[in-house]
Amino acid sequence: MGKKSGTNHHLRFEIASERQTIKEYSLIPEADPSAKAQHMSEHQMLQEIQRLAQSGDSEGVKEYLLNFPEFKRKDLSTMLIRSAAERGKTLEL
């Protein structure tokens, strides 16, 4: 094996909390407040739809899926069906 480099990196890409270590260089852009609000809204909707899926409420899940953008619905459906199956429930979507 070769000799390991003794370079000490001050910023690790996978740790977002370290982005302020080097002020003039950041791999992670500062958060946009509107993006954070959208993320939190989608996060809450995802929690609610997962609760419905895990209880086996197919109709509730179908209705709630309409709140998500079209391009996310197929992936969400697949994820929710698998999540429900892990709990022994069956979803008809």
**Rounded distance between C-alpha atoms, residue 60 and residue 49, angstroms:** 8
The overall average pLDDT reported for the chain is 77
Q: Which two tokens stand for residue 56?
A: 């086996």
pLDDT single digits (tens) 34-59: 766 777 788 899 999 999 999 999 99
Reply yes or no on whether the pLDDT at 65 is more than 70.
yes
pTM of the model: 0.60
What's the distance, CA 41 to chain centroid?
A: 12
Q: Judge contact between 83 and 54, C-beta under 8 A.
A: yes
pLDDT of 93: 83
Tokens 């994820």 label which residue?
Answer: 79
Reply yes or no on whether the pLDDT at 30 is more than 80.
no
